[in-house]
Amino acid sequence: MLPWWASRMAGALAWSVSFVAAFFVVQYTLSFGRAKAEAWLIAFLTSFLMDMFLLQPVKLMAAAVGVVLIFRKPMNDDELPPAETTEDEEYLDILPKHLPPEDVVTELPGDAVLAEDRARRLRKKKVRGAVKEILLYGMFVCVLMLTSYGERSSLAFHMNKAVSGYVVGGSEGTAFSLISDVTSFWQWVDTTLIPATHSPAWYNRQTSNHSLHLPDHMTHLIAPLRFRQVRTRQEQHCTVPDAMANVSARCLDGYSVTNADTSNYNGSWDAPIKPNLTFTDDNSTAASPWHFKYGKIADGFAYIGKHGAYNTGGYVATLNWTFNGSMEMSTDLRTKNWLDEKTRAVFVEMVLYNPHANLFSVVVMVTEFSITGSVSMTTEMTTFTLHHRDKVTLLVLRVAMALFVIYYLIEAVMNFGTRPLEYLTEAWTWLEIFIIFSATTTLGLYFRAQGVMDDIAGHRHEDHVFESYHKAAMWHQLYTYLLSFLICCSLIKLVRLLRFNNHVNSLMYTIKKTVKPLFNFLIIASIIITAFALVANLTLGLNLKEYSTLLASYENLFGMMLGKFSFGKLEEGSAFFGPALFVFFQCTVQFFLLTMFMSIIMDVYAESREVTNPDQIEIMQFLKDEAAEAVSKLRSFAKKQKDCRPDLEKKPQVTLQGQIQDAMEEIQEQTAIEEVKEQRRPRERRIHFIGNDEAFILK
């Protein structure tokens, strides 16, 4: 009575239940140890065998007896089974009163009827396939959404805002954005950073047991603050022109990986340690802030700043656990000029944890010192959850997602095997391939990140706290970025599956037909916008930071198109060229380019409304027809079950004795009827004529 795919779903469900159970068994037993695992295995096998051969059979028999005694109905005399027949008796079947006539002949339908019926069946098959594909893919998108948003916390924003307010904003001291040189950097460290991360007392002036936490006493630091400096080498390749030799005798190059300083020093940048052949790059030598520490690719991404790309290595200085110790360390570094003119970037790194929200936050605050003396500050916060409270739910969603990926992978392989050239030439095929690839990679990244997080939770890297948490943040960021692309592509494919809708079909038709004219239009528009960007960079770049580079000029011009601009800054950059640039750019873009852009789209869209949708499917009508057909089938099935009862229940069972008794009753009834008729018949007059051997009787 169930469809064919019910067995597949039952098998998949049974496999998933077994897989989840086996996964948890393996996961928990691996953490027991050998002795405890062997004891657990013996207890498990003993309990399993006892349940299988002793307890479960007894419980099954007891449950069966109880169900029979409670739910079985007593047998009535009318429901007694028929008596067994003797050797000279047999049951006689009574034929139905109305038999179908044998001479009824069904005429074959004509070609027109067959063609119409065939077309109707093809439409139903097409609609059924479309509905099945939409429902299945909709389930995949739902699983993907629940997976991606189920592990995120809405409190992450509030945690970032609190950290930014105390550390970056400088609510109790100098703000991070006001750093302009090395002196202001140390001032921010002493007045804002260290007091904000070492709050010794509560609001009622009671001392706290843990000194490394923010002033709200909600967010704690996992380890003391760490400074990481990136420097250039002592030897420089730049030269000062002879005409300016009397002004300065030396110059400094910009930072790059090739001229980064990797030497070790002895308490001062003027006292380098001579290279020793027996010297090894050990992490123990990195305890000093004057020793270079090499970074690993696995510890995190290379940071791309405004003035260069910086690796994970550098000169590392770690502050103290206490407020006084951190202040002494900061004073010592400032006194010995740990930051000087060769410093190109300083990374302030901290790892925060809020136990109330169960959130970790890896904060990296970067201060870049350029060769022109300007300072650029950026802050990067990665907030995520390491310990999930609902691991079972997320694991079930991951397993469901893996099953969907396997299903779509098998479907793609089958399509490629049946029609390889046609399958690969379709544009949507590559989107499906990217979805399958990204979903598989996302699952791999998730388990990789989970492995790193399990290592952190097990305190296996106590000496390398920042490296461990930076590695976890890196894998979490990779997983998040790839998951966002996967969700975007999945929703695009979902829109494509809804192409039977007239509005969606019009949208796809418009996109398809406007590709060529829009491409030609964008070439002309890019030339015009590039001309304005060059003018803005040349005329305003010397006075305004927003137009100092060509890329920044592009960004601000596009922002001006969207209505985000400051007319006062344009006048500040140039009293004449600023307003003139604004007027000409707005007139050109708003009145000409955007109008032409919308005209191209609207013309094709109006044309699409007149085009018949080849994939138009009346889903609602199909669902109504299917529901009516299902109800009709249920009624006919119930009627068939009622008419097709067993013969012993449907037909009267007659023995020879009963048949004789029925015959005698019928004879007696016929005799009584004849007697009644005889009594009602009128008397007859009989006249006898005798003569010539003939007798006549007249009535």
**607-649 pLDDT tens trace:** 777 766 665 656 666 667 777 877 888 887 777 766 665 544 4
Least-confidence region, from 72-76, 213-217, 247-251:
72-76
In one-letter notation, the amino acid at residue 343 is T
* pLDDT at 692 (0 to 100): 45
Contact in structure between 359 and 155 (CB atoms under 8 Å): yes
- pLDDT score of 207 more than 70: no
pLDDT tier, 8 (very low <50, low <70, confident <90, very high otherwise): confident
Higher pLDDT, 286 or 388: 388
Higher pLDDT, 465 or 92: 465
Average pLDDT over residues 1-11: 82
Which pairs from 322-328 meet CB under 8 Å and 24+ separation?
A: 322/198, 322/211, 323/194, 323/195, 323/198, 323/200, 323/211, 326/194, 326/198, 326/224, 326/225, 327/190, 327/194
pLDDT tier, 407 (very low <50, low <70, confident <90, very high otherwise): confident
pLDDT tier, 203 (very low <50, low <70, confident <90, very high otherwise): low
Nearest to 226 by CA among 279, 162, 293: 293
Average pLDDT over residues 407-424: 84
* pLDDT at 90 (0 to 100): 64
* pLDDT at 635 (0 to 100): 80
Output the CA angle 24-25-27, nearest 5 degrees: 60
- pLDDT score of 684 more than 80: no
Burial of 474 (0-12, 13-18, 19+ CB in 10 A): buried
- pLDDT score of 380 more than 60: yes
**With pLDDT > 70 as the criterion, what percentage of the chain qualifies?**
77
The DSSP code for 164 is: I
- pLDDT score of 129 more than 50: yes
In one-letter notation, the amino acid at residue 558 is F
pLDDT tier, 688 (very low <50, low <70, confident <90, very high otherwise): very low
Average pLDDT over residues 122-126: 77
* pLDDT at 173 (0 to 100): 65
* pLDDT at 254 (0 to 100): 73
Condensed to tens digits (0 to 9), the pLDDT of residues 140-164 reads: 888 888 888 877 777 888 888 888 8
* pLDDT at 652 (0 to 100): 53
* pLDDT at 457 (0 to 100): 62
Average pLDDT over residues 6-21: 86
Whats the size of the chain, residue-wise?
699
Question: Mean pLDDT in the chain?
Answer: 77
Higher pLDDT, 218 or 338: 338
- pLDDT score of 685 more than 50: no
Q: Going along 332-476, which residue ranges are E strands?
A: 343-354, 359-369, 375-384
Condensed to tens digits (0 to 9), the pLDDT of residues 496-546 reads: 887 776 777 777 778 888 888 888 888 988 899 999 889 888 888 888 888
CA distance linking residue 28 with residue 253, whole number of Å: 56
Owner of token pair 């007045």: 191
Nearest to 213 by CA among 235, 230, 197, 229: 197
- pLDDT score of 431 more than 80: yes
CA distance linking residue 218 with residue 158, whole number of Å: 12
CA distance linking residue 296 with residue 462, whole number of Å: 17
- pLDDT score of 87 more than 80: no
Q: Please, which residues have CB within 8 angstroms of residue 99's CB and are 6 or more apart in sequence?
A: none
Output the CA angle 510-511-513, nearest 5 degrees: 65
* pLDDT at 650 (0 to 100): 47
* pLDDT at 697 (0 to 100): 42
Condensed to tens digits (0 to 9), the pLDDT of residues 263-320 reads: 888 877 877 776 654 444 444 444 688 888 887 766 666 778 787 788 888 888 888 8
Average pLDDT over residues 458-481: 72
Higher pLDDT, 505 or 99: 505
Contact in structure between 234 and 318 (CB atoms under 8 Å): no
| Helices (H) then strands (E): counts for the chain | 21, 11
Contact in structure between 430 and 183 (CB atoms under 8 Å): no
Partner residues linked to 361 by β-bridges: 352, 383
